[in-house]
Chain A
């Protein structure tokens, strides 16, 4: 969790009153007061999301609108992804890169129209992201941060049945497809996406309307409110990066195992985005470290910061995320190691409270993704 400077007051999301009514245990996170858990507790909320459906307040995240002629080409000067080739009504995961090819932030890019995009960025990075995008904005394009919008995620195997009842047709959207719907009179931007590895949606609407929308969803027996604690264990089991932990301004997408977000024609030094030279070089010459999934052999939990050692006891890396995986039924972790140790099945040691524990490099995700890809 992000540290909080106690001299600055915490911001609240438009769902603060709802969190209080639901008994949310509030903690500081990225400058916001956010629920870490509700009455079910982290373990119960995690399992509920995997078995039924969970509702997450993610209104602290940054949302922004970008529009104007050449908007896709502009985004391709900041991100290594294929934005020009993205269909209208489809969304893609990408990153903002710095001149050294390090990751400024990871984000979701939704194409609303030929020249109009909706962006979703991390709460802790959004101020810098907005400044970065605005600083590079060409004349004729319009870029607007959208603090007027709130965001919730509905995740889990029952999400489609629930949302399909409120917004008929939502159950037929593909993974990473969007639609507009009126839910109980609330204008909602729906995307079939999320951060848990489960099928599900993210729903964006005006701040003033989000409580009505959240209450409509919570009225279903299958839906429980879920806090940041379970959000973290769910995304860790899904093998998804947490910005500021698993990726940061020093890690490249290649080191992070995110080469899949860069289409082949954009893997060259002259691809026209910051850090393209490093991307091309790392693809050609290899990297010095790679993000891998790690499964400790015993029950001891290796958390962020735990030292990774080779079987000979040499220090080779650090755990960037680690915890107990309720669905994996044991400890899980990810971290960076040299390529020689990055192969699936490679034995490692993890140092926890001064003791070395055997572990193994494993394929991620730790729990299979269940995204909806059509019938």
Chain B
């Protein structure tokens, strides 16, 4: 599963056909700590990349999640609303947050690949 792309705000996307599955990175869940509340967007909402779209809240603080790509929200993961710690346990798998039907199929390709993202977070930790 190394075909995720990442934003500088620590969201990931995985393009499946014309749809992007989105979540927060393992680094992000680690920094946030224990996730206790997730607020997901309404299905049908049309977003542009970098729009505030969701909130992931840990014991410490609430963090805004931004749309990594532009398009229409076509699904949300209600399982993480029920069990927010799923985001900590499996951020790139069962902890996905929402799916966006892409306006521009190529948009995700402009985001960082895994290697670039690893370099990026290594720079943040210095």
Contacts and interface: CB of A to CB of B under 8 A. Distances in A.
Contact of A323 (B55, B59, B81): B59
A301 B58 CA distance: 10
A42 B33 contact: yes
Interface of B: prevailing SS: strand
B33 A37 contact: yes
A7 B36 CA distance: 35
B57 A301 contact: yes
Contact of A42 (B55, B57, B60, B81): B60
Interface residues of B, number: 12
A233 B59 contact: yes
B59 A43 contact: yes
Interface of A: prevailing SS: mixed
B34 interface: yes
Interface in B41-73: 55, 57-60, 62
Nearest to B85: A43
Contacts of B26: none
B86 to A, nearest CB: 14
B39 interface: yes
A303 B37 contact: no
Interface residues of A, number: 18
Instruction: With a 10 A CB-CB cut-off, give which of A44, A46, A233, A300 has the most chain B CB atoms.
Output: A300
A299 interface: yes
Interface in A224-270: 229, 233
Instruction: With a 10 A CB-CB cut-off, give which of B36, B57, B81 has the most chain A CB atoms.
Output: B36
A324 interface: yes
Nearest to A27: B60
B110 to A, nearest CB: 29
B62 A324 contact: no
21 contacts: A37-B33, A42-B34, A42-B58, A42-B59, A43-B36, A43-B59, A229-B33, A229-B59, A299-B37, A299-B81, A301-B37, A301-B57, A301-B62, A303-B62, A324-B37, A324-B59, A326-B36, A326-B59, A331-B37, A353-B39, A353-B62
The 7 closest A-B pairs by CB, nearest first: A43-B34, A324-B36, A42-B59, A299-B37, A324-B59, A301-B37, A41-B33
